[in-house]
Amino acid sequence: MTPEETVLDYYEALRRGEPLYPYFVERAETWKAAISTQYSGYDAVSEALREQSRTTDEWTVESEALSVTERDGLALFEDAVRLAWTDTRTGERRGFDSRWSGVLEALDGDDEEWEFLQLHVSAPRSI
């Protein structure tokens, strides 16, 4: 898979409710940040993603502007993504427009298999 295909596959896994932690590099420098959270290290990222899967359902993920730049075993990406999901604890439906960016790394120098080293999701906010 190309880096772009990996990002799109991650979105699809989120929609299907599949585990997301396998998309991340298993190293201490793996990092993920969302609207009000930040996780450093693969263990923290994978636990946060497991908790997200336990407490959310019915994801809508609409990519609007995916852009990927690849060079020397790393790929940078950015996207505008429309998100919506159901909080399984309350039944409340939530959603917003978001910005995604991150770094993917080719596994073992193999340009056919990519994983996230960093992933950042933010929401635009008026000042």
> CATH no. for residue 109?
3.10.450.50
pLDDT at 110 over 90: no
Confidence bin at 126 (pLDDT 50/70/90): low
Confidence bin at 111 (pLDDT 50/70/90): confident
Q: Is 105 helix (H, G, I), strand (E, B) or coil?
A: strand
Least confident of 52-56, 61-65, 122-126: 122-126
* Residue 44 domain-assigned (yes or no): yes
**pLDDT for the residue numbered 45:** 98
Spell out the residues 6+ positions from residue 112 whose beta carbon is closer than 8 angstroms to its own: 1
Q: How many domains does the chain have?
A: 1
pLDDT at 81 over 60: yes
**Whole-angstrom distance, CA of residue 28 vs CA of residue 43:** 8
Q: Which domain holds residue 53?
A: 3-122
pLDDT at 127 over 70: no
